[in-house]
Structure 1
Amino acid sequence: MLITIPDILDQSKLIEINELLDQGQFKDGKLTAGWHAKLVKNNTQLSGRDKAAKQATALLTNALQRNPAFAHATLLRQMRSLLFSRYEPGMEYGNHVDDAIMGSNRSFRTDISFTVFLSDPESYEGGELIMDSSVGEQKFKLPSGSAVIYPSTTLHRVAPVIKGVRQVAVSWIQSLVRSAEQREIIYDVDNTRRALFEREGKSREFDLLTKTHANLLRLWSEP
């Protein structure tokens, strides 16, 4: 399931995070890349130990946790610490797939990847997030404060930045439901029952959809 979520960050929090990033020390992005991704990764990243990174992480993590659409789409079990990336002119990230297992003890399975766009799309040229799919390439260059969520199985890349600076936050999620197809079914049922409740209140049909939603979670979740 691939979805976009607008306005995860309001304008004041977006400004605060970008000001923090301006104070941080960015390092070569290859330091956090896998052995084959190093060959195609050309960006800089804020060290997780940096004070600015810790403050920005706290702000964005709080916003993500408070966003209902993010919660419904991810069925979050655990999330890796946010990684703040910067692309200046000439920088890009070639085709790659995110590591299936992460963490020093190799205990974190990546089911979902996501990117939160922090730069105004009008402030830089190029830098689209491009995903390969069965219907061809899909390009994303979202308004600042918006996010795109996609299965970690997806082959993707970042197009070269031609002008300006592209700043994003990325991370990975281990979901309660491993399968992207099953997560999409649960997400659709959840959205349908919520829309029905808004229109008709607590009805017999709403109760049946709520029962189905709960039982699908029981059937497919891995708590």
Structure 2
Amino acid sequence: MFLHLKQVFTPDEVQSARLLLGADAPWVDGRASAGGQAQASKQNQQLAQGSDVSQQLQAQVQAALGRDALFFSAALPKRIFNPLFNRYSGDSNFYGAHIDGAVLHSQNPAQWVRSDISCTLFLSAPEEYDGGELLIQEPLGERRIKLPAGDMILYPSSTVHQVAPVTRGARIASFFWIESMVRSTEQRQMLFDMDMALLRLRSEVGEKHPSMVQLTGTYHNLLRLWADV
């Protein structure tokens, strides 16, 4: 599933986050958090996880996700890896082709998270930097993603992806992973499509229409069959 979520962060929240993520923020070498294979291709900066700034921003991202009904419908989150923050600029400006680790250890809270869904929340406006596209390989070609500040992309963690070199300015973003209650990408997609269709149908025929009752029940029965909580 690929999904573009708009305005996960409001403009005010983007501005607040950017003030905290300035040049004086506790940036460290991004390779410190990479596995052996990724270290060779990762050249960026990452906000120190244990810093007060990181804790504050993590709470803001978690709160934004909690109020986004479309995010919940698409991801059906069971566990969320604590949000991280990175910066691509200058000589630390790219992340080569890689696949995210299958099981990752989150610090806040301390837990293991299976990476079903990868998420990037863009905090820099596209006009602030050149390059820096998120490139995701697919059987039919390559997706090139560069979203407005405050928007987020969800995509399968099993895909090969990279961040193209930033040749001007700075690309700042939050990134994290989701372990879904529904492990199968195909099953999550079907449930999401059904949920979106139910929303449209509800506005046309009303909540109490017999077809709405039956189809809503079918959605929950499928979720009951596939979900692992």
TM-score, with structure 2 as normaliser: 0.94
Q: How much has 1:89 moved relative to structure 2? A: 3.2
Counterpart for residue 179 of structure 1: 184
Match in the other structure for 1:94:
96
Moved more, 28-37 or 57-66: 57-66
CA RMSD of aligned residues (A): 1.3
1:39 aligns with 2:40: yes
- Which residues in structure 2 correspond to 1:73-222 (within 5 Å)? 73-90=74-91, 91-103=93-105, 107-202=112-207, 203-222=209-228
Contact 1:132 1:154 (C-alpha < 8 Å) held by counterparts: yes
Which one-letter code corresponds to 1:193 in the other structure? L
**Cα 1:106/1:51, change in 2 over 3 Å:** closer
CA distance in 2, matches of 1:97, 1:67: 27
SS at match of 1:103: strand
Per-residue Cα deviation, 1:64-112 (whole angstroms, up to 9, x for no partner): 1111111111000010111100000341000000000111898421111
User: Partner amino acid for 2:201?
Assistant: L
Any stretches of 5+ residues in structure 2 without a counterpart? Answer: none
Deviates more, 1:52-61 or 1:132-141: 52-61
SS in 2 for 1:142: coil
Answer whether contact 1:24 1:51 (CA < 8 A) is retained: no
Matches of 2:86 and 2:111, distance apart in 1: 23
Q: Following superposition, which runs of at least 4 residues in structure 1 exceed 2 angstroms of deviation?
A: 104-108
Q: Which runs of 5+ in 1 are unaligned?
A: none
Bigger mean CA deviation after superposition, 19-28 or 162-171? 19-28
Match of 1:63 in 2: 64
Identity of aligned residues (%): 38
Cα pair 1:89 1:160 within 8 Å, conserved: no
Query: Is the 1:24–1:50 contact (alpha carbons within 8 Å) kept by the matching residues of 2?
Result: no
* Distance in 2, Cα, partners of 1:219 & 1:81: 28
Cα distance in 2 for residues equivalent to 1:161 and 1:108: 30
